[in-house]
Structure 1
Amino acid sequence: MAMTVPAALPPTLAGTGELFQLLRDGTPRTRAELAQLSSLARSTVTARVDALLASGLLAPVGEAASTGGRPPTRFALNRDNRVVLAIDLGASHASVAVTDLSGRVLDEKTVDSDIADGPERVLDRVATIGRKLLTAIERPLSDVAGVGIGVPGPVEHATGRPANPPIMPGWHDFDIPAHLGKTFVGPVLVDNDVNLMALGEYATSWQAAPHLLLVKVATGIGAGIVSDGRLMRGALGSAGDLGHVQVAGAREDVVCRCGNTGCLEAVAAGPAIAAKLRERGLDVEGSQDIVDAVVAGEIAALQAVREAGRDLGTVLATCVNLLNPSVIVIGGKLSEAGEYLLAGVREVVYQRSLPLATHDLRIVSTSAASRGGILGASAMVVDAVLAPRAVDEYVARQTAAQTA
């Protein structure tokens, strides 16, 4: 369906948002270069560039080499035009950051926060932190282009409402966008935390590898899928629920929190590994204790983590044959166990997957680490507010305000 242009936008500027996409990458370009790339008339490009400059989305960034006469001016995305509030909620923490329009973090804060406190208390908590961060960097609420938030459970992305999240009591069908919208202007976009980790990894480290699979291994196990540079959420937003795939050969008496038996999460996530290590006499409770035991060189921990990697590799081998990713990124707290987890994954994936699917496949640890969810939340909002139609609407509002 064709997008309609806001009535307030003059016809000559109707494609301003499309032209702006050529400057999203931050590379400075002249009007002549934009005319060549867009195949538009120089006069049309000039009018649209002028509108983008007036709106604040573009800024001059110096001059190109002269070919005779006055040197032409180059323009680039003005990343300081507005800011994004990015929020990453975990089972026991909340991270809040303010970023610019390029995803650069301007300020951030992480606090202990129990997701079981319920939506209103948790969201009010992060909203308060967000306002304090904005005050600290001297940006008003009106500068917020949008809010991105990741939650540790399934989300119906179109509505921003959690859908029967197992570790989020009281959150089912809660209208997160409406609640945060009481405080912040701009769109409020919500997604599963692992999806945003995948988007954060892609946006910051892997744009040359547009087919990416991010696997989070911590208290639970989940995956985010990026295909052709876009998140794959599935029909209702539950794509990537890797933790509840049955592991071949798993004991049938191992019951998962979902009610089924033999799930990957029940045999290879943090609590499962910790339980095995307690049976072997080690005093471990959670994922951090497991990582500490691995770092300390505890043989039982090394063996258990590598075995968990093999179980994970068994499921990922099927994913590789089905999705053919160019890179698998292992994140989450247990990724801090380093090569022991990765070695188990690689051992099985390269053995069980088709040779063509693994020809150029890389299996690596996360580069974004604990910031992945924040960076992904920011990228999700930036993609929305700098999309062609959104830019057209923003330029229209700015034009109307300047002529009023």
Structure 2
Amino acid sequence: MLTHAGQSLGAPHAGGLFQLLRDGLPRTRAELVTMTGLSRPTVAQRIDQLLELGLIAPVGDAVSTGGRPSSQFAFNPTARVVVAADFGASHARAAVTDLGGTMLAAHAEPRSIADGPEAALAWLTDTALRLLDDAGHVPTDVAGIGIGVPGPVEFSTGRPINPPIMPGWDRFDIPAAIHQTFDAPVLVDNDVNIMALGERTVAWADEDDLIFIKVATGIGAGVISGGSLRRGAQGAAGDIGHIALARASDVPCPCGNRGCIEAIASGKAVAHSLTRDGIAAETPSDVIALVKSGNVTAVQAVRQAGRDLGEVLTACVSLMNPAVIVIGGTMAQAAEHLVAGVREVVYARSIPLSTEHLTIAPSRAASDAAILGAAQLAIDAALSPERIAAALGLGVAVLSA
């Protein structure tokens, strides 16, 4: 899980104490007193508050050193659920998970993001209600909703900002639309950001500095630095697809410029390149099929795309000094060749100090990265110290409202 900015172990409410228990490890009152420096009566009071909310539950007694065994308490991930959604250019997926991120029910289907926000969000609310019923829950059990969309997002408001492939979505108030059905916090973010969050949650929980690269129809990056997602001033951080590359200087890009990495190394660009060479390929999936069939020209094209991407990532390594670079998206299905090309350039051209312990690997969460990241976005908001403090001050219903 991502760390909470400003969080301290001595937070003046049970929400701060709860963050220590989110790792799921059982702890006694005495252990929590030692960890927080709070008094025993204060810790006992906060445990009682968290028990009332259902966020923790008693577990087996600790080993006794004589006398009465000490009771242990641990995070109860079944206390509430969250709804997660991942919208792509041509697909949509929704899921219900518990507060630990375990998927309880999910559904995916082809959908065009160009159909507009009203149709997409109506689909989401209808699907979420059905999935909640399938999982044995009701709308009031929902503690948060996380949504990923394929475009820049003003995170503070949940509104897409000038998204190039999302006609009709510009500045659309997504949270307000969802609140017509669900009375829960709604968090909206760029799809690559939530993929980075999902990947870290699933596979790299101990790494605080990670760059997730999505290579599909386009190219984008999600950046985690110091344990937190970095969105930038206008939510455009990670838009590496439009960094200029000398080798592509004469190649036009849909953004209006020439020479963008996306214009020569995205799945769509590789497909067009193969078509020009007389090998039929219209989509990134076609490229993957050719690679898997052993087509040498397709393999060489994907390897070159990796090298080109490596040129850009060499600068990212120098700037961010990540511990891990993860390659995901449709083209990661050809990871053996794509990642090899990236490694070839990054390891050769970065300074040794930056690459000594650098891991460059294909996504482990794969197609689940986005939906799990959307769930984690909602979970982190629902279980924040501030949210729990509000629940304690205004009643249990606030946690799911």
CA distance in 2, matches of 1:339, 1:43: 57
**2:241–2:261 Cα contact (<8 Å) kept:** yes
Aligned to 1:8: none
Aligned to 2:341: 344
Aligned to 2:387: 390
Could you report, residue by residue, the CA deviation over 1:7-64 in whole angstroms, capped at 9, with x for unpaired residues?
Answer: xxxxxx9521111111011111111111110111111111110111011111112111
Q: Return the letter of the residue paired with 1:169.
A: P
CA distance in 2, matches of 1:369, 1:193: 14
Which of residues 17, 33, 44 is equivalent to 2:31? 33
Aligned to 1:214: 212
Confirm or deny that 1:353 pairs with 2:350.
yes
**1:207–1:229 Cα contact (<8 Å) kept:** no
Aligned to 2:365: 368
Could you report, residue by residue, the CA deviation over 1:141-196 in whole angstroms, capped at 9, with x for unpaired residues?
Answer: 00000110000001111111001101000100000000011111211000000000
Aligned to 1:15: 13
Could you report, residue by residue, the CA deviation over 1:305-356 in whole angstroms, capped at 9, with x for unpaired residues?
Answer: 0000011000000000000000000000000002100111001111111111
Aligned to 2:279: 282
How many pairs were matched up?
390
1:399 deviates by 6.1
CA distance in 2, matches of 1:335, 1:399: 44
CA distance in 1, matches of 2:395, 2:170: 38
CA distance in 1, matches of 2:379, 2:131: 19
Which of residues 363, 377, 391 is equivalent to 2:374? 377
Aligned to 1:296: 293
Percent identity for Structure 1 against Structure 2: 54
Q: Return the letter of the residue paired with 2:226.
A: D
Decide whether aligned partners of structure 1 residues 400 and 164 sit closer, same or farther in structure 2, where only a CA change above 3 A counts: closer
Q: Return the letter of the residue paired with 2:351.
A: L
Alpha-carbon RMSD across the aligned residues, in angstroms, is 1.5
CA distance in 2, matches of 1:307, 1:222: 18
Task: Say which SS state the counterpart of residue 252 (structure 2) adopts.
Answer: coil
Confirm or deny that 1:258 pairs with 2:255.
yes
Q: TM-score, normalised by structure 2?
A: 0.95
Unaligned runs of at least 5 residues, structure 1:
4-12
Which of residues 30, 41, 44 is equivalent to 1:46? 44
Aligned to 2:104: 106
Aligned to 1:59: 57
Decide whether aligned partners of structure 1 residues 399 and 124 sit closer, same or farther in structure 2, where only a CA change above 3 A counts: closer
**1:119–1:170 Cα contact (<8 Å) kept:** yes
**For 1:136-175, what aligned pairs fall within 5 Å after superposition?**
136-175=134-173
Aligned to 2:78: 80
CA distance in 2, matches of 1:324, 1:399: 43
CA distance in 2, matches of 1:148, 1:83: 12
**2:217–2:267 Cα contact (<8 Å) kept:** yes
Decide whether aligned partners of structure 1 residues 68 and 318 sit closer, same or farther in structure 2, where only a CA change above 3 A counts: same
Q: TM-score, normalised by structure 1?
A: 0.94
Aligned to 1:124: 122
Which of residues 227, 230, 237 is equivalent to 1:229? 227
Task: Say which SS state the counterpart of residue 84 (structure 1) adopts.
Answer: strand
Q: Return the letter of the residue paired with 2:365.
A: A
CA distance in 2, matches of 1:49, 1:147: 26
**2:317–2:354 Cα contact (<8 Å) kept:** yes
State the 4+ residue runs in structure 1 displaced beyond 6 angstroms: none
CA distance in 2, matches of 1:365, 1:249: 25
Could you report, residue by residue, the CA deviation over 1:67-95 in whole angstroms, capped at 9, with x for unpaired residues?
Answer: 22221111111101110000000001001
CA distance in 2, matches of 1:338, 1:15: 47
CA distance in 2, matches of 1:272, 1:137: 41
Decide whether aligned partners of structure 1 residues 399 and 301 sit closer, same or farther in structure 2, where only a CA change above 3 A counts: closer
**1:246–1:263 Cα contact (<8 Å) kept:** yes
